[in-house]
């Protein structure tokens, strides 16, 4: 194995430091929380914190589900898109695996989001929690997904105090636990569909 000279070691160290300095947002460590909601690409490294919410892992979520005060589980993952090369005339039947008992509100963590969709998000969460802003609410989507961070942040800003963010998403859950196939929340889906006569 070739050994680096002192100048070579210095050059390598400076190159590594330059990489770190050039792309701190691409690092899985110390991604800062934005001041408001995140409007960048939905997939990417996320902060390790969310002010006003608890960040939980799969074990903490399992314990919460086994406890007496069952949380409301909100999945905000985007639906799968039909591949562009999908054969014409074939039936497209995607499935959405998720944590059992979850309510699927696709793209509720998008930013920007239409005001009427945001209002519906708050209305659905209010219904699901029975109006109890302290009830545990767990928000998730996929690993490295800003949508779940945004949706949890929206609830914190709305005054919910029992918000838990599960950043490992369905992938982190299914490492040790079973998943269930979800259908989109009917009220959420109906509001997104074009109305007849419009």
Question: What does the pLDDT profile of the chain (198 residues) look like in tens digits?
Answer: 445 444 444 444 434 433 333 333 345 568 999 999 999 999 999 999 999 999 999 999 999 999 999 999 999 999 987 777 878 888 767 789 999 999 999 999 999 999 999 999 999 999 999 999 999 999 999 999 999 999 999 999 999 999 999 999 999 999 999 999 999 999 999 988 764 444
Phi, psi angle pair for 98, to nearest 5°: -155, -175
User: What pTM was estimated for this model as a whole?
Assistant: 0.81
Are residues 97 and 180 in contact, defined by beta-carbon separation less than 8 angstroms? yes
- State the residue for tokens 């070739």: 2
């Amino acid at each position: 194995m070739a050994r680096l000279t002192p100048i070579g070691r210095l050059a390598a160290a400076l190159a590594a430091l330059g990489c770190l300095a050039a792309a701190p947002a691409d690092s899985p460590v110390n991604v800062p929380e934005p001041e408001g909601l995140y409007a960048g690409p939905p997939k990417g490294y996320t902060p390790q914190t969310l002010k006003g919410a608890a960040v939980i892992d799969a074990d903490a979520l399992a314990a919460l589900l086994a406890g007496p005060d069952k949380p409301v589980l909100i999945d905000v993952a985007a639906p799968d898109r039909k591949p562009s090369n999908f054969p014409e005339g074939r039936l497209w039947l995607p499935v959405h695996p998720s944590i059992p008992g979850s309510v699927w509100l696709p793209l509720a963590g998008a930013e920007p989001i239409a005001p009427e969709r945001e209002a519906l998000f708050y209305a659905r969460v209010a219904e699901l929690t029975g109006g109890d802003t302290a009830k545990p609410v767990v928000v998730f989507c996929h690993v490295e997904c800003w949508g779940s961070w945004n949706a949890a942040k929206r609830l914190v800003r709305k005054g919910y105090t029992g918000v838990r963010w599960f950043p490992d998403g369905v992938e982190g859950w299914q490492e040790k636990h079973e998943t269930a196939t979800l259908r989109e929340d009917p009220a959420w889906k109906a509001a997104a569909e074009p109305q007849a006569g419009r």
